[in-house]
Amino acid sequence: MKDIDRISYTKITVRYSQVDKMNQIYYSRYLEYFEVARIDYLHDIYTPYDVIENKFKVLMPVIESYIKISKPSRFNDKLNIKTSLEIVSEKRFKFTYSIFNKEMSIVAKGYTTHVFVSETSKSVLILNDVFKLISK
């Protein structure tokens, strides 16, 4: 795997609707946080995701995801998500996420694995071709 030396940070405040009866973030919400962080990463480092979809006609489906929760986070907690990108193969790439609380302790880590897909042909695209296209 090849790491790309670019990192993005996203701030999140835990909303009341995102916690369960134990006042902890409901586990599936972490995937939503990953999505927010991934969109911020693309906007900050490459091209905004809506431009990738609408102008370049390239989609980016999630084909695998993983979450490891280390500490509970609760309503109104302020979280910071560190996002980076790894190349897995010529057709697969992975966003990795580390979520920190205000004390800078890791509360969760995870990743989402993706491919680029042509909106028109639905075929999987070669990463280098797409990254050249969307680079700022």
CATH number at residue 108: 3.10.129.10
* pLDDT means over runs of 10, the chain (136 residues): 79 97 96 97 91 89 97 97 93 96 97 93 83 78
| Domain containing residue 128 | 2-134
**Residue 117, pLDDT score:** 92
Q: Is the dihedral of CA 55, 58, 59, 62 positive or negative?
A: negative
Contact 134, 116 (CB under 8 A): no
**Residue 21, pLDDT score:** 95
Write the CA distances from 29 to 61, 81, 103, integer angstroms: 18, 13, 21
CA 124 to chain centre: 20
Contact 95, 38 (CB under 8 A): yes
As for how many domains the chain has, the answer is 1
The model's pTM:
0.91
